[in-house]
Amino acid sequence: MFELSQTFHFDAAHTLRRKDASKPELRASRRIHGHSYTAEVSLRGEPSPETGMLLDLAVLRAEIAVVREGLDHHHLDEVPGLGVPTLENLCLYIHRALAHLPGLHAVTVWRASSGDRCRYAP
Domain extent listing, the chain = 2-120
Quickly name the fold that domain 2-120 has: Tetrahydropterin Synthase; Chain A (3.30.479)
73-107: buried (b, 16+ CB within 10 Å) or exposed (e) per residue?
ebebbebeebeebbbebbbbbbbebbeebeebbbb
Kindly report the pTM of this predicted structure: 0.90
Per-residue pLDDT band at 88 (split at 50, 70, 90) = very high
Q: What is the pLDDT of residue 33?
A: 84
Rounded-to-integer distance, Cα 40 and Cα 61, Å: 11
Q: What is the pLDDT of residue 19?
A: 61
Per-residue pLDDT band at 38 (split at 50, 70, 90) = very high
Question: What pLDDT, in 10s, does the model give residues 89-122?
Answer: 999 999 999 999 999 999 999 999 999 999 999 9
Q: DSSP state, 76? A: G
